[in-house]
Structure formats: C-alpha cells, structure tokens
C-alpha cells in the first residue's frame, strides 16, 4: 500500500495533508537517494503557474541538493516538456510541480524516470520507504548545485513542431488556443503560429491564482463561444499543465478525447501505420468502441488514469490510447500525454485528408454520457452502501445492452464519479441523478 503516492504522483491542498513544505523537502531528498543511479546526478524540475510552485520548487531543490544531486530549473513548463527534456538531458529524473486541472489552491509533485516515462510502482514504494528514514545530508563537497535551463521553451517548441509534416503548414487556418492560464501560455500559441496558423489566444495571462479558472480543457464554455464569435476553424483547449487537450469544431461543438482517439486511429489506419488497436478506459464512450469496430480496429479498456492506459498499451504492444478527458498517448510521438502534440497530430490529419474537424468525426456517433461528481470526506466508502448498489442495479436493468453505469472514486480528489451512458440523453441524466442522490444519501 502506498501512503503518499496516488495515481498521478502526490497531490492535495497546499499547506495541508501531504502538500507541505516539510514533505516536499523530505521528498526531494528521498527521491534523490532512490533515483541517483545512472551517474549523471542531475534532476530537472518544471512547474505550472500556481503561486505555490515557488514554494515547492525551493523545498524540492533543497532536498535534492542534500542528497547530492544537481538541479536544473525550467520554470513554468508543460508536464510533457519535462518528460521530453529529462530524456534529452539524460537526467536521473524529471520532477513536475503541478496539480493539473485542479484549482490553484491545490498542488502536486510527480516524477519521470530518465527515459521520460512515469515512475513505476516499485520505485514509488522505494521513495516512500526512504521518507520514513531520518534526513541525512551528504558532506558539503558533495552537495548538489542549481542551474537554470534558459532555452527550455525554445527546445520544446521545436520538438512540438517536429511532429507536424515538414511539407505542410497551417496557413489559412484560424485557431483559438486556450492555455488555461497554465504552463502552456508561452508555448502553445507560438507553436501554432510558427506552423503558419492565425492564432487567437485566451487563458494566456497567468497570475498565480487563475489557473483553470473558467478556462481550459475542463471549462469549455469560453473557447466554444470564442471559436464561433471569431469565425475560427477550430479551437484547442489545454489544461493547467498541458497534458490534456479538448478541441472545438467551427460550430462551437466540443471534440473530446474519445473523438480525438478516433481521428488518430483512422488516420493511422489509412496510412497503413496503425499497430494493433486503441486503448481507452472504463469511461470511454461506447460510441468510440462501436465506431472502431466498424473499421475492424481492436479496442480495449483500461482502468481510469493515463498510467493504466500506458500499462495496457505496453502489454499489447499498441501505440495509440487515451481518455475521454483528453489525455492522449501516441507512443510514436512521445512517452506521456501531450496536449500540444495531440493537437498537432489532429491538424496533420486534417491537412493530410483535406478535411475539417467535423468531417473527421462525422462517422463516429457519441452516445449521451452524463457524469456527476459527488464530494465526500474522511475514509468513508459510499460505494459500499447497499443503497448505492441497489440504485446501480436498478438503472442497469433499465438500460439493458445499450447503456453502461460506472461508479468510481477519483484518484486525485475526494469525489465519487457517477457515469451513466445510453441512447436517450433525458433518461440517462435522470438515471445518473438517481444514483448520485443515493451516493449523497450514503455520504
């Protein structure tokens, strides 16, 4: 059992529980002792735009130095940029200070191994074991030093652009880019402009506390309105740390992660480069599975969380997978979810097939899916309640084979996620509200 690490590193409210300066200091030291094995003795640290990022950056820096590791600071940079530069600098590890799509008062810490992939469970358990030991500083002449990677943004911009066909441009396209006031604010607009697009930006003025506030991939109303009012061809919405993407077509309709997976799989199949099939999650829309089946493309579901998508991709030796929330993995183009790169791959498909975003998704029919989040406190388990179980059985019997119910605890927040899917949106919403009411009563 892991005491500190969740499904995506360590995350929580700043100054409470796990996310304290004391723990960050000790975590830097513990991780330094476990990860300092390949001999380079350097660790890269990146962060999003939360005001607390300065605090945790300093604490981690001190802990890593105490363990004898040199620290290279990137400043505000997307999570996938940290993964990429960890590989290119041959660092022992990369560290990201971010709570992704959470509000500014939360923060988190997650690690990448030297190859740019997320740490496996065994390494996280080793770090937790070190956390239980007293902090012992190395001798003064062995202390780590700190430097800054001044050209980190430029390096990552060039990497992103390298995923677009060299013989194509985005000239003639008008794109709205929503950076969620997060880590992509100085990256994403430049990537798409340098590829030739006319770019309208929103969510590109971070102040430390406005990250994900009514903007970004988890709050799509503003970008939908802006795409229509600007007469844009499409919109690209990223989350606070840049590893998620949602898109908007010219009608102002949301194109989610499932539809993006469909576009990428169809494009790869037409080009003859699709290896195996597509991995989704338990939350993936049934419409994705049915549409891929029509194309004879295999589909498999993992547990919710991009680390589980990655595990199943590696197990099956497939390349494309992701979540409807916008975590998109294409192992031919990176080792972790990358919102900017996923957007570039969709734009490349549009250019390659001379098609609009609407045309690339028209063959996939999304079934109505309603998700309701119910907050709970403490160590209670509402899903164990007989009241909740009975409500689920009742709804499943009414939906039959053309629908699904999924109840699960969030891996990053104290929430029970109630998902119901079926043919009739009105009935689906009513069923979801019925189960959500039972969960609230159990709470």
> Considering only CA atoms, which of 15, 14, 12, 36 is closest in space to residue 127?
36
Q: If you search the block for the tokens 């060299």, which residue do you land on?
A: 166
Cβ atoms within 10 A of the Cβ of 339, count?
30
Token pair of 227 as six digits: 């795409």
Token pair of 219 as six digits: 């709050």
Q: If you search the block for the tokens 């589909």, which residue do you land on?
A: 299
Bridge partner list, 360: none
Does residue 267 have a known ligand-binding role? no
Distance CA 115, CA 113 (A): 5
Per-residue b/e over 192-206, b at no fewer than 16 CB within 10 Å? bebbebbbbbbbbeb
Bridge partner list, 200: 176
Catalytic center residues: 100
Distance CA 371, CA 333 (A): 31
> Considering only CA atoms, which of 223, 122, 132, 225 is closest in space to residue 179?
223
Does residue 120 have a known ligand-binding role? no
> Cβ distance 269 to 261 under 8 Å?
no
DSSP letter for 82, please: H
Does residue 167 have a known ligand-binding role? no
Does residue 8 have a known ligand-binding role? no
Query: Residues annotated in the binding site, as ranges?
Result: 100, 239, 241, 243
Query: Residues annotated in the binding site for Mg(2+), as ranges?
Result: 100, 239, 241, 243
């Amino acid at each position: 059992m892991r005491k500190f690490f969740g499904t995506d590193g360590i995350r929580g409210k700043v100054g409470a529980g796990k996310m304290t300066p004391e723990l960050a200091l000790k975590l830097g030291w513990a991780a330094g002792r476990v990860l300092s094995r390949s001999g380079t003795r350097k660790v890269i640290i990146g962060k999003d735009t939360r005001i607390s990022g300065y605090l945790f950056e300093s604490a981690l820096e001190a802990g890593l130095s105490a363990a004898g590791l040199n620290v290279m600071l990137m400043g505000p940079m997307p999570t996938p940029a940290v993964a990429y530069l960890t590989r290119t600098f041959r660092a022992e590890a990369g560290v990201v200070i971010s709570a992704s799509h959470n509000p500014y008062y939360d923060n988190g810490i997650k690690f990448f191994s030297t190859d740019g992939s997320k740490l496996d469970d065994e390494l996280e358990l080793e770090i937790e074991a070190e956390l239980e030991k007293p902090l012992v500083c190395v001798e003064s002449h062995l202390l780590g030093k700190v430097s800054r990677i001044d050209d980190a943004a430029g390096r990552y911009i060039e990497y992103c652009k390298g995923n677009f066909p060299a013989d194509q441009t985005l000239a003639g396209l008008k794109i709205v880019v929503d950076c969620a006031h997060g880590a992509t604010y100085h990256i994403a607009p430049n990537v798409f402009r340098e590829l030739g697009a006319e770019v309208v930006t929103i969510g590109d003025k971070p102040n430390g506390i406005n990250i994900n506030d009514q903007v970004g991939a988890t709050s799509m109303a503003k970008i939908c309105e802006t795409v229509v009012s600007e007469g844009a061809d499409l919109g690209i919405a990223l989350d606070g740390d840049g590893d998620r993407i949602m898109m908007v077509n010219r009608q102002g309709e949301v194109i989610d992660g499932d539809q993006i997976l469909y576009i990428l799989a169809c494009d790869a199949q037409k080009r003859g480069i699709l290896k195996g099939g597509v991995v989704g999650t338990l939350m993936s829309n049934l419409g994705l599975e049915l549409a891929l089946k029509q194309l004879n493309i295999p589909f498999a579901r993992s547990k919710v969380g991009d680390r589980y998508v990655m595990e199943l991709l590696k197990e099956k030796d497939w390349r494309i997978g992701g979540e409807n929330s916008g975590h998109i993995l294409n192992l031919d183009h990176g080792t972790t979810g990358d919102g900017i790169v996923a957007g570039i791959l969709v734009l490349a498909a549009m250019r390659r097939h001379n098609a609009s975003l609407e045309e690339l998704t028209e063959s996939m029919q999304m079934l109505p899916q309603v998700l309701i989040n119910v907050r709970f406190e403490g160590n209670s388990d509402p899903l164990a309640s007989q009241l909740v179980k009975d409500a689920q059985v009742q709804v499943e019997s009414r939906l039959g084979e053309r629908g699904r119910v999924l109840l699960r605890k969030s891996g990053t927040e104290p929430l029970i996620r109630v998902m119901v899917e079926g043919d009739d949106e009105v009935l689906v919403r009513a069923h979801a509200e019925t189960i959500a009411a039972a969960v609230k009563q159990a709470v």
